[in-house]
Amino acid sequence: MGLFFFGLRQGIQYDPRSETDEDLNTRQQRRAESREAAKLLEGKKVPFRWEYASVFIALAVAIFLVLAPPETMLIVTLLLVFMLALLIYIALHLVRSIFHARWKWAQTPVAVILAVGLVGLFSLWILRPAKIELEGVSRVPTYGEGSVVSGIKWRKEYAELDLTVRNASEDDYSNLDIEITTDLMFEDLRQQSGLASCTIVRNGKPFGVNSQRIQGVKPTVDENGTLRAEGGIPAGPVHTTGDNYKVIAVDKNGQIVSLSGKTNRTYRVRCDKVPASSQNNFVAALSVVNPIVNGKLPTAIYDSPKPLTQLSAKIKLTTGILKRSLLIENCKIGLTCKG
């Protein structure tokens, strides 16, 4: 019995020589085909996919417009047009991959409409309009001697302007810069209230008059017919109230009055942050300055005060991602004017 099982085991052992020639050829053929396929894969170059690259380029342009926007509208427009071209190319590939050979006549219009819609929505978001409103009320008040109104030392020659600057949008603004110009002269401008903290400066030198009495003056007239003075020594202190035109004249009593610079009709207001749906209130003192005609000083520097009738403003601000410029011209006092 043991000899039987030993012989059986020896009989069923694998013998390579028992494999037919057909089986060997099949195995060798498969190996050869595998080697050829590997060589083909190694030498084959994957083509560059422009549609994928266009997606990343379009995203880069959008991120640039959001995080580092250009200051000029021309550059913004050019970038939006470039983005539109990229999106049309991308949309064409997308539509063709969905519809394949069906509705070929509609594929291009659908891609264009899709791209234009996306760029249009993006443009509406980044180019939403800025809403700044100005409203002024002016009067000639009657304040007692020595009155101080919102930090302004009041004089009887002053008219008052109550100015409201309003952010009428639902967006926060930053870097608000307003140049306010009137037909009267600004003596001072102060902020009364508001959520924004603003810096206020005048454009140009302050107005004022320097007067100095001189003894031993010899009045002369130069080649231009302007009255001047020679010689003399100061008698008493100089009196300074500011100034702004450039003229030197001597009155009949030998008193020299000098004026330099210009009457200032513009004030600049700058606020770093202006919250949405908020307003800031300012008060200004305005005066009427009599002109110098042919180098001759007026009898009185200040004329009687009168209410302001209109004002203008050049406005710059940042909203969303872009810097905006607005202009309000000849805004009638008592009305709300929108930029």
Last residue of a domain, one of 240, 257, 274: 257
- Confirm whether 332 is domain-assigned: yes
For the stretch 293-297, contacts whose Cβ atoms lie closer than 8 Å and that sit 24 or more positions apart, written own/partner, are 294/225, 295/224, 295/225, 295/226, 295/227, 295/247, 295/249, 296/227, 296/249, 297/247, 297/249, 297/257, 297/259
- Confirm whether 32 is domain-assigned: no
Q: Which two structure tokens, joined as six digits, stand for 170?
A: 């639902």
**Could you tell me if 185 and 238 lie in one domain?**
no
- Confirm whether 33 is domain-assigned: no
Express each pLDDT in 297-308 by its tens digit.
666 777 889 999
Exposure of 178 by Cβ count < 10 A (0-12 exposed, 13-18 middle, 19+ buried)? buried
Q: Domain total for the chain?
A: 3
What pairs with residue 322 in β-bridges? 319
**Could you tell me if 153 and 199 lie in one domain?**
yes
Which CATH number do you get for residue 153? 2.60.40.1170
**Could you tell me if 137 and 233 lie in one domain?**
no
Q: Which domain holds residue 60?
A: 50-126
Alpha-carbon torsion (255, 256, 262, 264), positive or negative:
negative
Express each pLDDT in 86-129 by its tens digit.
888 888 888 888 877 788 788 788 888 888 888 888 888 777 77
The rounded distance, in Å, linking the Cα atoms of 339 and 131 is 6
**Could you tell me if 330 and 266 lie in one domain?**
yes
Express each pLDDT in 1-23 by its tens digit.
444 444 444 544 545 545 555 55
**Could you tell me if 75 and 162 lie in one domain?**
no
pLDDT at 216 over 60: no
φ, ψ at 24 (rounded to 5°): -65, -40
Confidence (pTM): 0.56
The rounded distance, in Å, linking the Cα atoms of 19 and 262 is 114
